[in-house]
């Protein structure tokens, strides 16, 4: 794959459910009840049960990995959490990921992720620097 500034290199929509959150809690060890109990979320002033921020971030990393083909190519990855992903008990939540090449310099591409839920950005400065000098260029 060749990489050009402005190019969308990956897109994905992920449907999260309450079951997704329970599975992630088990895998990560993060059993904070705001991720599975409506009463606790309401008591602390949240709009509902929230997806784990690290789950949202981790899915973004997998989107970048799909774009470059090898997780070892990722030099660094960071995000700022800006808005919560509220996971409805019946309908779940659709989270949309778009990875776009923002900059290329000396075999390193900066991939910017736009991550939205309900038309709102939920991550800011979601960026990964990846080695592309060894990625097969088409």
Is 138 inside any structural domain? no
Is 124 inside any structural domain? yes
Specify the pLDDT at position 85.
98
Query: Per-residue pLDDT averaged across 10-29, rounded?
Result: 97
d(CA 116, CA 36): 21
Question: What is the domain-level CATH number for residue 40?
Answer: 3.10.129.10
Per-residue pLDDT reduced to its tens digit, 43-62: 999 999 999 999 999 999 99
Does this model's pTM top 0.95? My answer is no
Name the pLDDT band for 133 (thresholds 50, 70, 90).
Answer: confident
Is 57 inside any structural domain? yes
d(CA 129, CA 132): 9
Specify the pLDDT at position 136.
44
Higher pLDDT, 84 or 133: 84
Is 120 inside any structural domain? yes
Strand stretches in 32-91, DSSP E: 74-81
Per-residue pLDDT reduced to its tens digit, 99-117: 999 999 999 999 999 999 9
Residues of the chain by 3-state class (helix, strand, coil), percent to 5: 30, 40, 30
The two tokens of residue 67 are 């774009």
Query: Per-residue pLDDT averaged across 20-46, rounded?
Result: 97
Cα–Cα distance list, 104 to 43, 77, 97, 111, 131 (Å)? 46, 16, 21, 9, 10
Is 29 inside any structural domain? yes
Domain with 26 in it: 8-131
Cα–Cα distance list, 102 to 2, 21, 40, 66, 99 (Å)? 14, 31, 40, 17, 9
Query: Per-residue pLDDT averaged across 7-19, rounded?
Result: 97
Provide the domain count of the chain: 1
3-class SS of residue 76: strand
Report yes or no: 7 and 98 within 8 Å, Cβ to Cβ: no
- Can you say whether the dihedral through the CA atoms of 16, 3, 127, 133 is positive or negative? positive
Is 136 inside any structural domain? no
Residue 126 above 90 pLDDT? Answer: yes
Is 101 inside any structural domain? yes
Is 1 inside any structural domain? no
């Amino acid at each position: 794959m060749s990489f050009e500034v402005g190019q969308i290199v990956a897109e994905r929509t992920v449907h999260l459910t309450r079951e997704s959150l329970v599975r992630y809690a088990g895998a990560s060890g993060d059993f904070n009840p705001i991720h599975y109990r409506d009463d606790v979320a309401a008591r602390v002033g949240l709009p509902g049960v929230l997806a784990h921020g690290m789950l949202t971030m981790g899915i973004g990393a997998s989107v970048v990995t799909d774009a470059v083909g090898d997780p070892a190519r990722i030099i660094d990855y960071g995000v700022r959490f800006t808005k919560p992903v509220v996971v409805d008990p019946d309908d779940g939540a659709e989270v949309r990921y778009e990875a776009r090449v923002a900059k290329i310099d000396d075999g390193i591409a900066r991939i910017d992720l736009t991550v939205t839920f309900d038309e709102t950005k939920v991550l800011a400065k979601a960026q990964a620097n990846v080695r592309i000098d060894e990625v097969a260029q088409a």
